[in-house]
Amino acid sequence: MSKNRRKEIQEKQSLQAQFQLALSQNEKRALSWLQPCQQPQEQNTVANTNDDDSFMNLPVIPQGAGLTSGNSKNTIGEFLSSDDLKKNKPQPGNEFRKTAVQSKPMIALMNKMRNTSREKVRKKVERVKQQTRENNQDNDDSEDEEVSELRARSVKKTTTGLLHNKIKKKSGRPF
């Protein structure tokens, strides 16, 4: 950075510090004019305790859980006042979820179980596909023999060179 740029930054910082100092002095002066009243402060403390109580009664929602899915009624106050760590209750549908409690062999077994269930599903899908193919072949056999003979004898007509003679490949780049 150049010296001029450094100088500008220092000047801006000093101006900002002076501005903040002036604001704090004005705030102190304004507060000194006001006489402290005991009644509003007492009301504020009562209001603050009500606010704190309402905050402490808010429910704790675990990460990834919805508002209505949790059966437990844990609150922030209970969480802050408890000394021990509570273990999460197992949720239905999370049998395969990895946790710190499970060992590596247990995780490997769970993965193997998951893979075997996937293979079963794949085999079922393949069976359904094979059955549909067999049904299609059965329908083909039921057609008239004459139609199948005509299909076997028919030859595709090919057009040779009509379009290919007119189109010439351009050499070079288009742009």
Q: What's the length of the chain?
A: 175
**Residue 42: inside a domain:** no
**Residue 66: inside a domain:** no
Give bridge partners of residue 33 from the DSSP assignment. Answer: none
**Residue 28: inside a domain:** no
Domain count, the chain: 1
**Residue 116: inside a domain:** yes
**Residue 70: inside a domain:** no
pLDDT of residue 17: 95
Distance CA 127, CA 122 (A): 9
Residues of the chain with pLDDT under 70: 1, 36-49, 64-73, 85-101, 136-144, 155-171, 175
**Residue 111: inside a domain:** yes
pLDDT of residue 161: 57
Reported pTM: 0.24
| Sign of the torsion formed by the C-alpha atoms of 91, 95, 98 and 99 | positive
Domain containing 112: what range? 103-130
